[in-house]
Amino acid sequence: MQFKKSIYKLAVVCSLIGFTACQSQLELKPISAIGDNGFYSNTQEVEAAVFAIYDGLQNTVQREFALTEMRSDNTKTKNSEGEWAQFEHMNVSPTNGTLQDYWGDLYNVVFRANKVMASLDVVNDEPTKALFEAEARFSRALMYFNLTRGFGEVPLVTQIIVPGDAVASQRTPVNTVYGQIEEDLMFAIEHLPSRANIEEGRATKGAAQTLLAKVKLTTGDYSGAQTLLETVIGSSDYTLVDAYSDVFYSELNSEVIFAIQFLNDDAVESQDFSYEFTKLGSTSGINYVTDDFKANVDVLDTERIAVLYNPEDVKENGKFLTASSDNRLCGNDWIVLRLADVYLMYAEAIMAGNASTNDANAVNAYNMIRSRVGLSTLTAGATLTKDALILERRVELAFENHRLYDLVRLGVAEEVMADFAEDNGFPFNATKLLLPIPQREIDTSYGLLTQNPGY
């Protein structure tokens, strides 16, 4: 049974007030006014809190593209508009509103996950309790992976805190954050079911394995990543779809490992990033395709080109064209993890930080993605280079928020972004690969939370 997206918003209200039946929103007290004894008292209320985690994830991807794709050589604004131009020029101000909202949205999901984990004693069925904890840990791990890749050292909060708690103002070493991420994902792998044994849209064992593999690639544990990726590839839960367009326009297909869901034409369950990407006839617009990206796409790559660019305006990103009747209430899901990414990460894990590999399994994984869209493949015994792998990831996963972190993980971010900045007339230095800590967070910590270098 498909996970019902419409339950998310209901879950938020129920989980915050802790009553068996939802009350009118007019009766809600501020969250800070509700003591711990006002929260969950039974399994149903904890389950509602779990669903509220997924609701929180919807907020995190509404503008995430600005901090990832627009800070790479993939996308830009239509006409260098306002604060959005800070992202395309890799010169983000600590007071940037989108930056501050993103930080808050990620930590809001962390809070929701921590609240679930702190409330599990009321769940009497042990497998159910383990499932809820695994979903919470998976979500928390995803948030901290995004936080530490984006900001570096960040406060590591693994329990319920109140305003003024010192832990919220203490930056934690990156290695310690990654240790917590791995611990959370190992628990999730042990206790999450396979895709076939849980409602579509909820976290699965395969999603936790895939995310942990990407974490291990990031930390340089190539053999650990390879083992996890082999397990996902060997699973019957996931297969590449035949048509590239179906990845994005036949939602929750066999290639999708984890996606954040939205509904068309729903006042509370829709998104508007699809609208922002395609402001036809408007002078404004964001996440538009750079000339550099287009110059690096093979003209023979026609199947992907048909999806990468909006056919009505090829300057626009075409992966998220809306089918809604109101283009501000779009239902396109955001794919976080998919099998094509797994195959390319598998080749990367085998390459293990080297400039090339002749390993047949790595070559075959690379060829799987190429052959799906009718492009030339490497012959048996041929060499797969890191440059070829980076380019294939760039095109295959374009506009899915991977590019900047791929460049960093594969050790070429400084070179690539310096060249791109020079070609496009803006200054660049390596400190800009990390985002600034939002000034609002520094101010509310009374200066205990320190800023990243270069800001």
Residues of the chain with pLDDT under 70: 1-39, 164
Look up tokens 């570096």; give the residue: 152
Which tens digits make up the pLDDT trace of 307-333? 999 999 999 999 999 999 998 999 999
Identify the pLDDT of residue 115.
Answer: 96
Asked whether residue 127 is domain-assigned, the answer is yes
Residues contacting residue 212 through CB under 8 Å, at least 6 positions apart: 141, 182, 185, 186, 189, 228
Q: What's the CATH number where 150 sits?
A: 1.25.40.890
Identify the pLDDT of residue 19.
Answer: 30
Contact 439, 160 (CB under 8 A): no
Look up tokens 């004693």; give the residue: 121
Contact 53, 260 (CB under 8 A): no
Asked whether residue 388 is domain-assigned, the answer is no
Strand partners, 385: 356
Asked whether residue 256 is domain-assigned, the answer is no
Identify the pLDDT of residue 165.
Answer: 76
Distance of alpha carbon 190 from alpha carbon 208, whole angstroms:
9
Give the three-state DSSP class for 206.
helix
Which tens digits make up the pLDDT trace of 366-410? 999 999 999 999 999 999 999 999 999 999 999 999 999 999 999
Q: How far is CA 268 from CA 8, 55, 170, 330, 356, in A?
A: 9, 10, 35, 11, 47
Identify the pLDDT of residue 32.
Answer: 35
Q: By residue range, what is the domain housing residue 108?
A: 1-191
Distance of alpha carbon 204 from alpha carbon 197, whole angstroms:
9
Asked whether residue 19 is domain-assigned, the answer is yes
Identify the pLDDT of residue 210.
Answer: 98
Residues contacting residue 401 through CB under 8 Å, at least 6 positions apart: 61, 64, 65, 68, 69
Asked whether residue 293 is domain-assigned, the answer is no
Identify the pLDDT of residue 169.
Answer: 84
Distance of alpha carbon 154 from alpha carbon 146, whole angstroms:
11
Identify the pLDDT of residue 28.
Answer: 30
Backbone phi and psi for residue 357, each to the nearest 5 degrees, phi listed first: -150, 150
Asked whether residue 236 is domain-assigned, the answer is no
Distance of alpha carbon 80 from alpha carbon 70, whole angstroms:
11
Asked whether residue 449 is domain-assigned, the answer is no
User: Domain count of the chain?
Assistant: 1
Q: Which amino acid is at 151?
A: F
Asked whether residue 345 is domain-assigned, the answer is no
